[in-house]
A and B are shown apart, each in its own frame.
Chain A
Amino acid sequence: MKKKFWDLFGKQKKKKMPALQNIPDKLHAPLHKKVEDNVSTIKETLGNSFDIVSRSFKIGTEKPVSAALFYMEGLADKNFVQDFVLETLMLDVRETDLGQKGSKTTDFYTILKERAVTNGVVKEIKDFQTALDHLLSGDTVIVLEGYAKGLSISSNGMKDRGVQEATSQTVVRGPKEGFTETIRTNTSLIRRRIKDPNLWIETKKVGKKTKTEVAICYLKGVAQDEIIEEVRKRIDDIDIDAILESGYIEELIQDETYTPFPTVYNTERPDTACAGILEGRIVIIVDGTPFVLIVPALFVHFFQSTEDFAQRSDIGTLMRLLRFLCFFIALLTPSAYIALTTFHQEMIPTQLLISLAAQREGVPFPAVVEAFMMEITFEILREAGTRMPRAVGSAISIVGALVLGQAAVEAGIVSSAMVIVVSLTAISSFVSPTFNMSISVRILRFGFMILAGMFGLFGIIIGLIIMVLHLTSLRSFGIPYLAPMGPFIPSEQKDTLVRMPFWRMKTRPKLISQMDMEREETQSPRPPEKEDPKN
């Protein structure tokens, strides 16, 4: 068949894959009544992996009942299993002669479940699939002779990193704690900050292979029900093998993939997550990563830092305005330099033009090429700086600063003005409190440089118009991305470009939380009124 030109852009036709056969049907089968059968099936299914611990034992003295216990070494807390499960069943139960002489019931299973196991979370298991799920999450599973069901006892005791300082979004003033890889720790960090019964946390398991726990936290009554429902639906729709980081979820639930702008906010800071929840936004915590997601995420959110609220409002406002300024500096400086020096020399002050011309004297490349060279060099430096082993880190600064900056200028390959432009751009892009917004600026910057190289300032303006049109078309979980600037909501300007004092921010964001709008009633502080001296 002749291939058409259009086919180049289309999707490849899917080949039908035979259904995977490696999940045996017996997994869905109920547990066996015989303990040995259960033991062998579970061991077989797990391929006799060396980290599975199975212990067969007998309960009771007069009419001993066979039982077996499983747990995964390293996932389950060994001491806990030892002290509170095995010891109870093997020693204490025997001593009390439970369920034997003179006992009212002979249902040994129920007695075990209701009276013998002294643990908070105990669940009944009926088939192998559930048994394995629990086993692989760190629970302890017990099967009894004569019962086609088992018990799962929560014994999760995985090692984790502990709560440490957040490294990606640092502040001068504000809490230093950061989220960890363990979802329980992360939910507790949020609970500790919001002691409200309306803080609801739902969990789901996502990922066919990884079965990663995903928690959806929101403030019931503040968050919009439709958005919660949408988040639930989108997460339920995920059908993927593995979720190893919240970025997987982010990409699978965001409104628009083909955009340089992030529509899901991620943070490592519990206080930021709590602020989001209190505004009526929804936090998605994924087990195994310290980065939690916050939706809906609007354009302005990426310019806010928790420190804006920790510092006084005037300082907060100033810092925020600076960030918006830096966004444009990082986005447009190289392209403006290209446009002005190659198309619009009349717009540069004479003295500056002369000194620019003097620097460019002897530089062999056009300004566009020079700018691209330097920007790409900087990107290489940055990428190398993040990926390289810590031990050789100092080499980067020597190579970057000395060789590429100074030597390149002295050798006449680039002009020193270009070095200034690139460094200004680089510094400005680090001002952004969120890393993913600075990534989008990085991507767009190159587009603007190409446009500036071809059409000068006209190109930059065309690019800006396209960018703004694109921004207005974006939605984050149904909320317009540019809100509250487009659509313009006057009452919400209090926390957009500026950060008003707290007693002026009385209402929650209108579009995000449509219920329970009133946030506070605090009045502006005033000096106490003087008492009348006559009284």
Chain B
Amino acid sequence: MRRKLTSIFFVLLLSFGLAGCWDARELTDISIAVGLGIDKEDDLFQVTVQLIDPAEIAGKMLSSRSASTVYTTTGHTIFEAMRKLTTLAPREIYLGHLRIVIFGEEYAKEGILDALDFMSRYHEMRTDFYISIARENKASDLLKIITPLEKSPANKIFSSLEASHEFWAPTKGVKLDELIASMSSEGKEAVLTGLYVQGDPEQGTNMANVEKAASPADIKVDYIGVFNGEKLVGWLNKEESKGVNYLENEIKNSMKWVNCEKEGRVSLELIDSKTDVKGSLQGNKPKITINVETEANIAEVQCTTDLSKPETITAFEKKAASKQESILNTSIERAKELEADIFGFGEVMTRSDLTYWKEIKKNWNQIFANELEVEVKAKVNIRRTGTINESFFDDVKKKSEMSE
């Protein structure tokens, strides 16, 4: 009996080997894709991947070759195009480390559902890449730009999106799950950040682009694209974009300036912001009340003012608050123009009055654009004035006047 068991054990042990290494993929057999661009070319999908050459980024001996390679193919489906890429690329393309997916503006206007399905279905992809739109451009053109500082252009976009999302209110990094959540939610529309080439796109594709201290062409993150359903319907410019992040309660750190009494400006560093959105029904009309409370520090003073007096601070606080209100109103006005409820006011109404919501949910976007009343109340608290109290502006100016 014991003999039999032993031999069965050995047979089982040997059968492990039969499984082989069926899923194994050596690092030398894969190409790491960091950027993926999707455009529409006539009826076909045009897929662009940006692969990196690890040896050029982290190798011991660097040559003058480009650290990234871009391949483009077309296909009836995205997956077909992806597989066609293997005829061009020397290795299997590995999408697990995608940093950024870019949609061409044309494609985004037609609707991006096909791409979203592929991205969430494909097993290889993690969902931690940023999604954005190539503004007035094709995604393939953006991926071809060779960027300074970061050797992989996709990585450069990833980091600048991350940094600007953190320190600059008007841009917004959107990842796959967030995009799908807001796109499929009733009473909310999706937004995506725009990317565009600043400078000459032709020059940007040459290695010469990174040989100068000031590159002739670079990729810039700006504007927010507004969706209605799956389709891109318009853009918010810088001023209009700011409000979006406030309302999403996603401000971590940003800045704004207010005018001094006479000339000059005072910059404020926003360190914390809390937004409270409430919905109610006034008669038959929906109403949204927004309360924004912001904490700020004074970062820069360009005029003569006595910051040690509480009144001065209060005055600045009031100015900043009214500016805040106008920023939010601008954003909301623009969204109303586009008939896209990107702030999720519909969701707020659902929570406050479900029966009302059920009645009007079919034509909510019209109600949002025409009937919805939005009241914005802002409050700014200035906490610290920086490491110096009074500005030395005054003293320097007096001195120069005297010498005249």
Contact = CB atoms under 8 A, between A and B. Distances in A.
Contacts of A360: 26-28
A354 B58 contact: yes
A456 interface: yes
Contact of A358 (B24, B30, B59): B59
Contact of B97 (A6, A343, A350): A350
A363 B28 CA distance: 8
Interface string B16-27: 110111011111
A9 B3 contact: yes
Interface string A363-397: 10011100000000000000000000000000000
B52 A354 contact: yes
A345 interface: yes
A455 B22 CA distance: 8
A355 B6 contact: no
A363 B17 CA distance: 24
A367 B58 CA distance: 19
Contacts of A342: 21, 24-27
Given A345-B25, A358-B57, A358-B59, A5 B7 contact: yes
A345 B91 CA distance: 15
A354 B6 CA distance: 45
Majority-rule SS of B interface residues: mixed
Interface in B90-115: 94, 96-97, 99
Nearest to B25: A342
Contacts of B3: 6-7, 9-10
Majority-rule SS of A interface residues: helix
A456 B16 CA distance: 13
B162 to A, nearest CB: 13
B55 interface: yes
B7 A341 contact: no
B124 to A, nearest CB: 7
Nearest to B60: A358
Interface string B72-94: 00000000000000000000001
B97 A345 contact: yes
Interface residues of A, number: 30
B4 A6 contact: yes
B351 interface: no
A454 B17 contact: yes
B271 to A, nearest CB: 29
Interface in B46-75: 52, 54-55, 57-59
B27 A357 contact: yes
A461 B59 CA distance: 33
A341 B30 CA distance: 11
A479 interface: no
B17 A354 contact: no
A356 interface: yes
Contacts of B27: 341-342, 345, 353, 356-357, 360, 367
5 closest A-B pairs by beta carbon, nearest first, are A346-B96, A357-B54, A355-B58, A358-B58, A358-B54
Interface of A: 5-10, 341-343, 345-346, 350, 353-363, 366-368, 453-456
Interface of B: 3-4, 6-7, 16-17, 19-21, 23-28, 30, 32, 34, 52, 54-55, 57-59, 94, 96-97, 99, 124, 126, 155
20 contacts: A5-B7, A8-B7, A341-B27, A342-B25, A342-B27, A343-B23, A343-B24, A343-B25, A345-B96, A350-B32, A350-B99, A350-B155, A354-B57, A354-B58, A357-B54, A357-B58, A360-B27, A368-B21, A453-B24, A454-B19
